[in-house]
């Protein structure tokens, strides 16, 4: 087997691999930008919390409609939005900060989700919901993931300027009457949608990996928000492609393979990253005359 | 007395029921240049935030018909945020272009006026403290508001930058804008600010700088540590129950 064959043949030979690759591309386009903005808002752990929050909703969908795409999707979206809104309300009306109140809600959600699935299904179902089955992505799931990525891209493009300003200088945005809170809410909806899209393919626990890890990598390579988004999409898609190959050749589960590849890129970025990487701090580049 | 650009009527703003600004009444005349001075915790920043509409008064009214540009203390910004200087400054046009319309603004000219012509493409994280403040003033130029509020604009800023930015403030006043600045540099206040409000929750004195900054008042200001009373009485001034 040549290298080229090893890299291309799995996708040429098997339709399920091609579908998985397209799903990864859609996830990269949808989740990459959202992850970058989460990171810049210092809400990296928020994605994690929300992904757990999706679980009980998906479980309720699963109990109501079995392993049905739409049941679990709608349940996941509903649960994610409820937790996001509740956590926001708690942090606004009590002394708890948003990250702390989210932690409270997502721990409860995770426990509730595991409880629901394990009392109403078998452990295989639980594994499916927690870790997804990207190799079993069917046409309907592909349309859902692609649709969410498209919607997310269009909405993000539309609210890009206020959203970036809300991250960069929220006090300024408030002082000029730019309704930052509204865009924050729209953005949270996008986070939930993209997590639900990722959950189809990677499961609730792994979906956030393809959202945050590429974003963290991008911080080490790009200087502005727009270029960071580009890097994040590239890293996410490359992780999806390489992760699928790893999964295929080594018979490893696909979700963890993809996220581990992204984690490896993250490790490399920490060491070699052009902006603030470890080596960049050690190796002195020759400086300019002026 | 010319008409007021900002008038305050029995204004009280508090945190957790402890007043930071207490029954303040008065006005900033249109086209005036006023320094707000006072000890720590005297309510200076709170007053500016309330005028800018970022804090709700507990009591009383603030009347300001004109658009306001507000420059908070520099500590309130993430200085490592990955955005280019030109993009940061362009946001000054927000009230005209909003979040969606095309930005038709002369960012280059605004950067030129603060001496940052060649910095447009740099990331804001690469600027020094003085350069960062110059950049924020460039954004104020693009905001082009008739009322400008500055909260400690010269804290930890080098003398040359202070001089350059003071020239800009002078130009704003000459153009008829109303400028209110919270300052700690009393020499600068005496040299460049015609009006002063000495604030210690309430207005201790408000008027021409020379009349306000008397040696006795300055001594009293240095002596006073603003106390935080753990067991305060409920205020009954101004009809409050």
A163-190 confidence digits (pLDDT tens): 999 889 888 988 888 787 888 889 999 9
**CB within 8 Å: A159 and B95:** no
Give me the residue label for tokens 């910004």.
B77
CA atoms of B130 and B183, how far apart (whole Å)? 16
The CATH number of domain A3-278, selected from 1.10.3470.10, 1.10.10.10, 3.40.1440.10, 1.10.3720.10 = 1.10.3470.10
Across chain A, mean pLDDT equals: 88
| Subunit contact A223:B77, Cβ cutoff 8 A | no
* pLDDT under 70: residue ranges of chain B: 1-2, 225-232, 237-241
- How much is the CA Rg of chain B, to the nearest whole Å? 19
> Residue B129: exposed, middle, or buried by beta-carbon count in 10 A (0-12, 13-18, 19+)?
middle
User: What does the alpha-carbon distance between residue A23 and residue A197 come to, in Å, rounded to a whole number?
Assistant: 9
Q: Compute the distance between CA of residue A218 and CA of residue A211 in angstroms, rounded to an integer.
A: 12
Residue A49 has pLDDT above 50, yes or no: yes
Indicate if the pLDDT at residue A127 is higher than 80: no
pLDDT of residue B227: 59
**What's the ipTM?**
0.87
φ/ψ region of B104 (left if φ > 0, alpha if ψ in -120 to 50, else beta) reads beta
CB contacts, 8 Å: B46 with chain A: none
Whether the CB-CB separation of B173 and B179 falls below 8 Å is answered with yes
Q: SS3 for B231?
A: coil
Provide the total of helices (H) and of strands (E) in chain B, helices listed first: 9, 9
Domain definitions of chain A by residue range: 3-278
Instruction: Note the pLDDT of residue B231.
Output: 66
Distance CA A115, CA A72 (A): 16
Q: What is the pLDDT of residue A53?
A: 85
Beta strand pairing call for B202-208 and B195-200:
antiparallel
Q: Are strands B195-200 and B178-182 parallel, antiparallel or unpaired?
A: unpaired
Eight-class DSSP state of B93: G
pLDDT value of residue A202? 84
For chains A and B, CB pairs below 8 A equal 62
Cα A109 to Cα A103: distance, rounded to the nearest angstrom: 10
Dihedral sign (CA A196, A198, A201, A202): negative
**Residue A221 reports pLDDT greater than 70:** yes
pLDDT (0 to 100) of residue B120: 93
Per-residue H/E/C for chain A: CCHHHHHHHHHHHCHHHHHHHHHHHHHHHHHHHHHHHHHHCCCHHHHHHHHHHHHHHHHHHHHHHCCCHHHHHHHHHHHHHHHHHHHHHHHHHCCCCHHHHHHHHHHHHHHHHHHHHHHHCCHHHHHHHHHCCHHHCCHHHHHHHHHHHHHHHHHHHHCHHHHHHHHHCHHHHHHCCCCHHHHHHHHHHHHHHHHHHHHHHHHHHHHHHHHHHHHHHHHCCCCCHHHHHHHHHHHHHHHHHHHHHHHHHHCCCHHHHHHHHHHHHHHHHHHHCCCCCHHHHHCCCCCCCC
Which among A171, A172, A177 is the nearest to B91, CB-wise? A172
Structure confidence at residue B143 (pLDDT): 93
Quote helix, strand, coil % in chain B, to nearest 5.
40, 25, 35
Does residue A126 or residue A81 have the better pLDDT?
A81
Residue spans of the domains in chain B: they are 1-66+146-159+174-231, 74-145
Residue A68's pLDDT is 79
Is pLDDT larger for residue A28 or for residue A42?
A: A28
Percent of chain A at pLDDT exceeding 90: 42
Across the strands, what pairs with B206?
Answer: B197
Q: How many CA atoms lie within 13 A of A221 on its CB side?
A: 22
Instruction: Look at residue B2 in the predicted model and tell me its pLDDT.
Output: 58
Nearest CA in chain B to A221: B82
CATH homologous superfamily for the domain B1-66+146-159+174-231: P-loop containing nucleotide triphosphate hydrolases (3.40.50.300)
* Pairwise CA distance, residues B50 & B57, whole Å: 7
Burial class of A114 by CB neighbour count within 10 A (0 to 12, 13 to 18, 19+): middle
Chain B residues in contact with A40 by the CB 8 A cut-off are 81-82
The pLDDT value recorded for residue A225 is: 93
Residue A25 to chain B, least CA–CA distance (Å): 26
Interface touch A172/B99, C-beta < 8 Å: no
**pLDDT tens-place string over residues A229-245:** 999 999 999 999 999 99
Q: Residue A40: closest CA among chain B residues belongs to which residue?
A: B81
Region class of B178: left (phi > 0), else alpha (psi between -120 and 50), else beta: beta
Quote the pLDDT of residue B232. Answer: 67
């Amino acid at each position: 087997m040549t290298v080229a064959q090893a890299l291309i043949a799995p996708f040429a030979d098997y339709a399920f691999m091609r579908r998985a690759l397209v799903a990864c591309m859609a996830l990269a386009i949808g989740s990459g930008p959202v992850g970058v903005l989460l990171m810049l808002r210092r809400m990296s752990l928020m994605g994690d919390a929300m992904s757990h929050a999706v679980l009980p909703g998906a479980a309720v969908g699963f109990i109501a409609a079995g392993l049905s795409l739409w049941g679990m999707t709608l349940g996941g979206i509903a649960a994610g939005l409820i937790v996001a809104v509740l956590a926001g309300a708690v942090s606004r009306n009590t002394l708890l900060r948003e990250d702390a109140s989210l932690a409270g809600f997502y721990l409860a959600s995770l426990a509730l989700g595991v409880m629901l699935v394990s009392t109403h299904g078998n452990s295989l179902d639980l594994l499916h919901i927690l870790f997804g089955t990207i190799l079993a992505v069917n046409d309907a799931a592909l349309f859902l993931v692609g649709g969410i990525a498209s919607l997310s891209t269009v909405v993000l493009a539309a609210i890009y300027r206020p959203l970036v300003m809300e991250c960069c200088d929220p006090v300024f945005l408030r002082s000029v009457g730019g309704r930052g809170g509204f865009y924050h809410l729209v953005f949270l909806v996008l986070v939930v949608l993209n997590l639900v899209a990722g959950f189809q393919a990677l499961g609730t626990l792994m979906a956030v990996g393809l959202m945050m890890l590429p974003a963290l990598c991008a911080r080490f390579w790009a200087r502005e928000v727009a270029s960071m988004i580009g890097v994040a999409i590239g890293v996410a898609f490359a992780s999806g492609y390489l992760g699928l190959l790893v999964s295929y050749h080594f018979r490893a589960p696909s979700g963890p393979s993809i996220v581990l590849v992204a984690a490896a890129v993250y490790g490399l970025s920490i060491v070699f990253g052009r902006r603030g990487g470890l080596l960049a701090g050690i190796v002195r580049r020759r400086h300019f005359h002026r | 007395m010319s008409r007021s650009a900002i008038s305050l009527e029995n204004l009280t703003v508090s945190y957790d029921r402890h007043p930071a600004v207490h029954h303040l009444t008065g006005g900033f005349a249109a086209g005036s240049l006023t320094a707000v001075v006072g000890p720590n915790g005297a309510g200076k920043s709170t007053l500016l935030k309330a005028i800018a509409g970022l804090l709700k008064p507990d009591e009383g009214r603030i009347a300001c018909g004109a658009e306001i540009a507000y420059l908070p203390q520099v500590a309130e910004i993430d200085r490592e945020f990955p955005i280019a200087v030109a993009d940061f400054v362009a946001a000054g046009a927000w009230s005209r272009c909003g979040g969606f319309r095309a930005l038709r603004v002369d960012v280059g000219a605004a950067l030129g006026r603060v001496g940052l012509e060649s910095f447009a493409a740099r990331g804001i994280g690469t600027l020094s403290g003085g350069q960062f403040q110059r950049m924020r003033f460039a954004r104020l130029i693009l905001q082009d508001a008739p009322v400008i509020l500055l909260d400690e604009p010269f804290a930890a800023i080098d003398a040359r930058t202070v001089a350059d930015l003071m020239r800009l403030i002078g130009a704003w006043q000459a153009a008829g804008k109303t400028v209110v600045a919270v300052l700690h540099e009393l020499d600068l206040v005496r040299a460049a600010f015609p009006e002063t409000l000495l604030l210690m929750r309430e207005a201790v004195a408000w008027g021409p700088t020379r009349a306000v900054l008397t040696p006795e008042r300055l001594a009293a200001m240095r002596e006073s540590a603003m106390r935080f009373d753990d067991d305060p009485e409920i205020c009954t001034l101004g009809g409050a129950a």
